[in-house]
């Protein structure tokens, strides 16, 4: 089938991430959309060595992408508000659908852009503008659409959360951590947008509109930054049972809507308080569903590209098929199912927790460890428990091992006269990304 043709304006961090994800996962994406997605035209003032765009039409004038008749979807990734606004409005007038990661553009000029899009019958998508790769706008506007939303509270600026986490965990001062964050590339040379809460306020503006069905009203967001928080405050908060997080909060009070971004003490046992470093998380309280939370990377080349490309896929689906299969029943099209085999449990590798009860005799432990090592199983930790009864409980953790090897070893161990046949084993997963 004919490819969906995408034009990308801007080839910085997110632009190159978007090119890389579209290229690397091209086959899987085509199975989801029902036809390929092709990068037809890139507009960028300079090249980016982080991605390979050989064979793609390249213009130094980004407006050439917005007016290219060969482009179905314009992906705006130049950032800023003035040129981006003009570019997007030009593309809309030229009948292009818009995908953007630009929170400032949507928060400050969204009402105008949506009006123009409506007039021209095109779609505008901006999942990447809020919380990077977390599909928070889709969850709020579609997944929770049955609910009256009571409130939304989010850690929606990774830089700020990184600084607060380092202050808490390392006992370090704000200025020290900020300097380090700038060196690591987490914070801009001019950190105002992150540290004063402007970036979070842009995102909160968008969240609130989708939560409550109100126009975008960035100028009404109350903003307070994290620059005045001291180590003393972080420690005192902990004494009271709280952690300090920089939150964006939108709440329907029944008597008007609160829109505010400020440092906030939240109870240490809440899920949000466990969100550390540059990670983002948004908690939403709906009248039917209760509290739900969405967690993930809020920035970075590929996490942001994940959301940009998801928006492209959604538009590609809308341009492709009848509504009943706009999103295929199982995400992939029925004729694109894979016959990849399902492994049996014997083929799975896991660490194991083992609990055995053995006779308190010399040589028993030696027998067990020999059987384990004969079956390629190495022990990571072991504790011999105290007991007043006849049999001694031994608890151990193993390194990763094939399930089949573990079964063979346990059968031999259970056959020892000195070991109780009832051996407990539980698999271990470290959930590393």
Interaction residues for its own copies, span 313-332 (CB under 8 A): 313-314, 318-319, 322-327, 329-332
Per rule CB under 8 A, is residue 421 in the interface with its own copies? no
Q: Is the dihedral of CA 157, 299, 292, 146 positive or negative?
A: positive
Q: Which two tokens stand for residue 106?
A: 């949507």
Nearest CA to 312 among 148, 43, 74, 120?
74
Per rule CB under 8 A, is residue 404 in the interface with its own copies? no
The yes-or-no answer on residue 203 being catalytic is yes
Among 58-66, 69-77, 186-194, 381-389, the segment contacting its own copies (CB under 8 A): 381-389
Per rule CB under 8 A, is residue 196 in the interface with its own copies? no
Per rule CB under 8 A, is residue 171 in the interface with its own copies? no
Residue 342 φ/ψ, nearest 5 degrees: -90, 125
Q: How far is CA 259 from CA 201, 255, 271, 287, 391, in A?
A: 8, 13, 22, 19, 63
Q: Is 175 among the annotated ligand-binding positions?
A: no
Q: Is the dihedral of CA 37, 24, 76, 133 positive or negative?
A: positive
Q: Is 142 among the annotated ligand-binding positions?
A: no
Among 59-67, 156-164, 306-314, 358-366, the segment contacting its own copies (CB under 8 A): 306-314
134 vs 358, beta carbon nearer its own copies: 134
46 vs 341, beta carbon nearer its own copies: 341
Nearest CA to 167 among 225, 231, 245, 224?
231
Residue from 48, 182, 336, 359 touching its own copies (CB under 8 A): that is 336
Burial class (CB in 10 A: 0-12, 13-18, 19+), 143: middle
Q: Choosing from 5, 96, 138, 203, which is the catalytic residue?
A: 203
Q: Is 105 among the annotated ligand-binding positions?
A: no
Residue from 38, 188, 196, 233 touching its own copies (CB under 8 A): that is 233
Q: What's the full length of the chain, in residues?
A: 433
Per rule CB under 8 A, is residue 38 in the interface with its own copies? no
Among 61-69, 159-167, 183-191, 299-307, the segment contacting its own copies (CB under 8 A): 299-307
189 vs 433, beta carbon nearer its own copies: 433
Instruction: Report how far residue 186's alpha carbon sits from residue 160's, in angstroms, rounded to the nearest whole number.
Output: 9
CB of 169 to its own copies, least distance (A): 12
Q: Is 235 among the annotated ligand-binding positions?
A: no
Q: Is 74 among the annotated ligand-binding positions?
A: no
Residue from 140, 167, 195, 409 touching its own copies (CB under 8 A): that is 140
Residue from 397, 402, 408, 416 touching its own copies (CB under 8 A): that is 397
Q: Which of residues 13-32 bind its own copies (CB under 8 A)?
A: 17, 21-22, 24-25, 28-29, 31-32
Residue from 34, 158, 191, 303 touching its own copies (CB under 8 A): that is 303
CB of 300 to its own copies, least distance (A): 8
Q: Which of residues 41-100 bind its own copies (CB under 8 A)?
A: 97
CB of 115 to its own copies, least distance (A): 7
Q: Which two tokens stand for residue 281?
A: 């998380």
Instruction: Report how far residue 201's alpha carbon sits from residue 192's, in angstroms, rounded to the nearest whole number.
Output: 12
Instruction: Report how far residue 122's alpha carbon sits from residue 98's, in angstroms, rounded to the nearest whole number.
Output: 8
Question: Which residues does 183 contact at the CB level (< 8 Å), separation at least 6?
Answer: none
DSSP code for 141: I
Q: Is 103 among the annotated ligand-binding positions?
A: yes
Residue 378 φ/ψ, nearest 5 degrees: -110, 145
Q: Are 117 and 94 in contact (CB under 8 A)?
A: no
Compose the 348-377 pattern: x for residues touching its own copies by CB under 8 A, - for all others.
Answer: x--x-x-x----------------------
Per the DSSP assignment, residues forming a β-bridge with 398 are 379
CB of 217 to its own copies, least distance (A): 6
Neighbours of 49 (CB within 10 A): 6
Judged by DSSP in three states, 400 sits in coil
Q: Are strands 73-76 and 97-100 parallel, antiparallel or unpaired?
A: parallel
Judged by DSSP in three states, 337 sits in coil
The binding site for L-homoserine comprises: 188
> Which residue numbers are catalytic?
203
The binding site for NADP(+) comprises: 9-16
The binding site for NADPH comprises: 103
The binding site comprises: 9-16, 103, 188
């Amino acid at each position: 089938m004919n490819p969906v043709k995408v034009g990308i304006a801007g080839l910085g961090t997110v632009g190159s991430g978007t090119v890389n994800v579209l290229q690397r996962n091209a086959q899987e994406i085509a199975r989801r959309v029902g036809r390929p997605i092709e990068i037809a035209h890139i507009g960028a003032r300079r090249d980016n060595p982080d991605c390979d765009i050989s064979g793609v039409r390249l213009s130094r004038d980004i407006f050439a992408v917005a007016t290219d008749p060969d482009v179905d979807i314009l992906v705006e990734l130049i950032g800023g508000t003035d040129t981006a606004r003009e570019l997007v409005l030009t593309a809309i007038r030229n009948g292009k659908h818009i995908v953007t990661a630009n929170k400032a553009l949507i928060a400050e000029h969204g009402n105008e852009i949506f009006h123009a899009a409506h007039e021209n019958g095109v779609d505008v998508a901006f999942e990447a503008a809020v919380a990077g790769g977390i599909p928070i706008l889709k969850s709020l506007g579609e997944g929770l659409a049955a609910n009256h939303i009571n409130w939304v509270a989010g850690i929606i600026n990774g830089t700020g959360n990184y600084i607060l986490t380092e202050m808490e965990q390392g006992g370090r001062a704000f200025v020290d951590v900020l300097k380090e964050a700038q060196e690591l590339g987490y914070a801009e040379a001019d950190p105002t947008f992150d540290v004063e809460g402007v970036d979070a306020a842009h995102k909160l503006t968008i969240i609130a509109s989708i939560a409550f069905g109100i126009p975008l009203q960035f100028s009404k967001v109350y903003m307070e930054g994290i620059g005045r928080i001291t180590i003393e405050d972080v420690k005192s908060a902990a004494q009271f049972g709280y952690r300090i997080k920089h939150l964006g909060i939108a709440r329907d009070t029944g008597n008007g809507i609160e829109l505010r971004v400020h440092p906030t003490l939240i109870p240490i046992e809440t899920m949000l308080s466990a969100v550390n470093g540059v990670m983002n998380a948004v908690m939403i309280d709906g009248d039917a569903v209760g509290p739900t939370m969405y967690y993930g990377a809020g920035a970075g080349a590929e996490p942001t590209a994940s959301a940009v490309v998801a928006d492209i896929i959604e538009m590609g689906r809308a341009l492709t098929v009848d509504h009943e299969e706009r999103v295929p029943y199982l995400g992939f099209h029925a004729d694109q199912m894979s016959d990849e085999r399902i492994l049996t449990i014997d083929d799975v590798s896991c660490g194991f927790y083992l609990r055995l009860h053995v006779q308190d005799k010399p040589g028993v432990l030696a027998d067990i460890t020999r059987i384990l090592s004969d079956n390629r199983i190495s022990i990571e930790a072991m504790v011999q428990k105290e007991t007043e009864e006849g049999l001694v409980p031994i608890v151990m953790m193993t390194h990763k091992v094939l399930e089949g090897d573990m079964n063979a070893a346990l059968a031999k161990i259970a056959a020892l006269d000195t070991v109780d046949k009832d051996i407990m084993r539980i698999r271990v997963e470290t959930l590393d990304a």
